[in-house]
Amino acid sequence: MDDNRQKEIAAQLLDIIPIFKNKFMKPIGEMVHGGLKPSEFFVLMLLCENKSFTMTELANKLEISKTNLTPMVDKLIEGDYIHRFRDERDKRVIRVEISSRGKDLIDKHKDVFERIISEKLKILSSKDLNDLSEIIEKFHNIVLKL
């Protein structure tokens, strides 16, 4: 693929990000409870999908420095949403995992998230819903290759 086509696709992706954020993520972010910021809630979601992360792995996943991650992790530990522990194989390594309270919070909000998104999708025709479903599936498969 030529450079111009890649730049066009990059511009299209950059155009859709704020639209997606305003239509879906902003309403969801506004309803996060427990005094958590959306970024802290995202940490919980990542930990819910995986058993545990080292601090370095988590910082890399979030694409932030460990220095910026530490206050988030400390706040989540303070709220009993996650636990910090030493790796059994290498005691120098610090790992974090979601607690039962954190998992409960994610589970509780997942239903609400789905309801918010479902409400927004109600205005679409059956054809639009089918097209969107196919596009999302293709997009998902392609993004996994990156």
pLDDT of 32 above 70: no
- Non-local CB neighbours of 129 within 8 Å, separated by 6+ positions: 121
For residue 88, which phi and psi values (nearest 5 degrees)? Answer: -65, -35
Confidence band (pLDDT; 50, 70, 90) for 86? very high
Of 60, 107, 98, residue with least CA distance to 76: 98
- Tell me the whole-structure pTM to 2 decimals: 0.66
Q: Which of 17-21, 22-26, 122-126, 139-143 has the lowest mean pLDDT?
A: 22-26
- Non-local CB neighbours of 132 within 8 Å, separated by 6+ positions: 121, 124
pLDDT above 90 coverage of the chain, percent: 53
